[in-house]
A and B are shown apart, each in its own frame.
Chain A
């Protein structure tokens, strides 16, 4: 079983729609959580950190549920430029390396 599991998609949604991604992690010692975005043939870029209290950055909202070991990302009013692969990433306690999910591919259609 992968340490970080994501639905690979692809998700195809119309512009303006709301889309949600989920991610689960298996290691209860995970302590830091992130969503990264990766455009085709580009490097991963940090989208946002994820906290138990939830955090919002414009149209993006991320949420962590430690009890269920579950992370979510919500994108409201989606734009064509949101098309990308979204990577769920965790860091284990005491570790100095990112553990990536396989990514969820999102395409926003005009």
Chain B
């Protein structure tokens, strides 16, 4: 079984530019999550999709961040315009349908974003 894949693995952009991160969950997983770890801080929740619907986007930092999951398959997270404080590692995770904790959450390798 292929795991959660994220692209790109690294991205270096200048402040003010736009970056789009992509996540391909495990096939058949309805739940898709985005998390972020900024330097020196804990991993924090950004948002949760069930299929194509946003269930909880309470962790999104501000309106410069836009996540989509058209068709309920892969998801994208766009940052526009990027700011220095957006630097960090962005993780995607997926799990089967149902309550979190009842089925394992599988994380991708993450995208390391550096904004200069």
Chain A residues at the B interface, C-beta cutoff of 8 Å: 2, 4, 31-32, 41-46, 87, 91, 95-103
B105 touching A96, Cβ below 8 Å: no
Taken together as a complex, chains A and B put the C-alpha atoms of A102 and B43 apart, in Å, by 7
A98 touching B105, Cβ below 8 Å: yes
Number of inter-chain CB pairs below 8 Å = 48
> How many positions in chain B have a CB within 8 Å of any CB in the partner chain?
23
A92 to chain B, nearest CB (A): 10
Q: Which of B31, B33, B42 interacts with A102 by CB under 8 Å? A: B42
Chain B residues at the A interface, C-beta cutoff of 8 Å: 31, 33, 35, 41-45, 48, 55-56, 59, 91, 99-101, 104-105, 107-110, 112
A89 to chain B, nearest CB (A): 9
B63 to chain A, nearest CB (A): 20
